[in-house]
Amino acid sequence: MKKLEELGIGSPSTYAPTISTILKRGYVEKRDKEGVVRNFAVYRLKADKVAKEMSSENTGAEKSKLFPSDLGLVVTDFLKQYFDDIMDYGFTARIEGEFDEVAEGKMKWNKMIDDFYSPFKKDVEKTIETAERIKGERVLGVDAESGKPVVARMGRFGPMIQIGEANDEEKPRFAKIPTGQSIETITYEEAMNLFSIQGVLGQLDEKDITVSVGRFGPYVKWGEEFISIPRGTDLQTVDLAKAITFIEAKKIADAPVGHFQEKPIIKGKGRFGPYIKWDGMFINVPRKYNFDHLTQADMNELVEAKIKKEANRYIQRWPDDKITLENGRWGPFLRYGKKMIKVPKKADDTRYTPEEAAAFTLDQVKQFIELEIPGAFTKKVRKAPAKKKAATASKKPAAKKAPAKKAAKKK
């Protein structure tokens, strides 16, 4: 803020919202930074004699400071490349001076805005047409086992490590870069260590158990189920046994606390507070209920109220397949997971009525979804990658083929 003040950018009233915005968008992160131990020699002159003693200090340590995130660095590089005039500190100060002149009546606001917006709009249009997506890539080295490049880069869900390239025959391998590490500073050894931490640990009930880091932190994936790992847990300490304890704890938490219409009711706490879940529906539990001691009568009341409220919303539901057939403004539509999908029109080019849609079978509905999302229901067969990993692990001696391919590329 002191620097902004020196440059004549903004005012004290704008600093707080500016910082709040860049934090919210993930351009900076507030965290502690560990210092580096620095050794140094101290020489003392006493009674015509020089004595030497070694000492050390912790330097570079910071507490609760704002640091640029990988996303912030990539966005800044992009803006500097394509909008260098706007990224100039002098530009912001000049614009603020012009606003002052407008306020004092020395300059017409429409001319001032036009002088800025016209060239800016041209820059935006040119950037949309010609700019390439910036990935913030940093090559770390080559994977000794496969001979493929190891790259730290920005992905759709944040910074990650990638082994291999998208156009390779075998799909690239990915590992999420955890908080505290960045594309700029991560080493080859640290990057490769992430793959040993984030991967298939084993199986439970014939379902693969993997550990990874997602948008909301580290998690265990068991089959198609995701189980959050408590914050502060060191991923290096999460082995198969520990992962299974997280799964078992989740099973206990998800155990039915009651039933309604012979369907189980489970309860939990989410981002928006306590809830119960019944037949695929999440039902918020208001404060007037004692969430820790919900009775069957309480749960019946909550579910019945939810059914009444949603009575006109759902036509049919298949919770196990994450599919719902719902009433919409323009007629019935499908919701598959979080995606909304149109119901195709009939042969005579008219829309299905809710009554007709109520007769759809699950197979018919899946066909509609496949039209919009080809292969939507064949994805579950993709247990091949896990088996493939196991296979490639067992075929380590044959990994020498990769360097041969690389040599051919160089030619």
The CA distance from 131 to 150, in Å, is: 25
Does residue 14 sit within a domain? yes
Residues 89 and 206 in one domain: no
In a domain, 309, yes or no: no
According to the model, what pLDDT value does residue 410 have?
44
Give yes or no for residue 145 having a pLDDT over 50.
yes
pLDDT of residue 369 exceeding 80, the answer is yes
Q: Is the domain of 146 the same as that of 234? A: yes
Alpha-carbon distance values, 404 to 163, 367, 393, 398, 400 (Å) = 17, 44, 19, 11, 7
Q: Which of these ranges, 11-15, 84-88, 100-104, 377-381, has the smallest mean pLDDT?
A: 377-381
- Say whether both 123 and 18 belong to one domain: yes
Q: What's residue 407's pLDDT?
A: 44
The position carrying tokens 């080295």 is 141
Q: Residue range 151-163: average pLDDT?
A: 83
Domain boundary among 243, 269, 293: 243
- The arithmetic mean of pLDDT across residues 277-305, rounded, is 90
Q: How far is CA 349 from CA 50, 325, 327, 368, 387, in A?
A: 99, 20, 19, 16, 46
> Is 52 exposed, middle or buried (CB count within 10 Å of its CB: 0-12, 13-18, 19+)?
exposed
Residue 365 is predicted with a pLDDT of 93
pLDDT of 87 above 90: no
pLDDT digits (tens, 9 = 90+) for 4-22: 788 777 778 888 888 899 9
Average per-residue pLDDT for the chain: 83
Same domain, 85 and 145: no
pLDDT at 260 exceeding the cut of 80: yes
Residue 402 has pLDDT above 70, yes or no: no
Adjacent-strand bridge partners of 41: 54
User: Looking at per-residue confidence, does 36 or 260 come out higher?
Assistant: 260
Question: What integer pLDDT is reported at residue 207 of this predicted model?
Answer: 87
Range of the domain at 222: 138-243
Q: How confident is the model at residue 336 (pLDDT cuts 50, 70, 90)?
A: very high
Last residue of a domain, one of 83, 102, 130: 130
In a domain, 183, yes or no: yes
- Asked if 353 contacts 345 with a C-beta cutoff of 8 angstroms, the reply is no
User: For the segment 161-194, what is each residue's pLDDT rounded down to a tens digit?
Assistant: 888 887 777 778 888 887 778 888 888 988 888 8
On whether residue 84 sits in a domain, the answer given is yes
**Which one is predicted more confidently, 135 or 144?**
144
Q: What is the pLDDT of residues 20-74, one digit of tens each?
A: 999 988 888 888 877 888 999 999 998 889 999 999 988 888 888 888 888 888 8
Q: Is the pLDDT of residue 383 over 70?
A: no
Whichever domain contains 85, its CATH number is 1.10.460.10
Write down the pLDDT at residue 406.
Answer: 45
Structural domain total, the chain: 2
Q: Are residues 155 and 174 in the same domain?
A: yes
Q: How far is CA 326 from CA 309, 336, 342, 350, in A?
A: 14, 11, 10, 18
Clarify whether residues 124 and 233 are in a common domain. no
Can you give the pLDDT at residue 232?
A: 67
**Whether residue 280 has pLDDT greater than 50:** yes
Whether 408 has a pLDDT exceeding 80, the answer reads: no
Within a domain: 120: yes
Band of pLDDT at residue 393, cut at 50, 70 and 90: very low
| pLDDT reading at 95 higher than 60 | yes
Q: Are residues 161 and 213 in the same domain?
A: yes
Check residue 175 and give its pLDDT.
Answer: 82
The mean pLDDT of 243-258, rounded to a whole number, is 87
Q: Phi, psi at residue 263, to the nearest 5°?
A: -115, 140
Per-residue confidence at 198, pLDDT binned at 50, 70, 90? low
Name residue 158's beta-bridge partners.
155
Residues 219 and 186 in one domain: yes
pLDDT digits (tens, 9 = 90+) for 205-236: 888 888 877 666 678 888 888 888 887 677 77
Q: Do 96 and 198 reside in the same domain of the chain?
A: no
Average pLDDT of span 86-101? 85
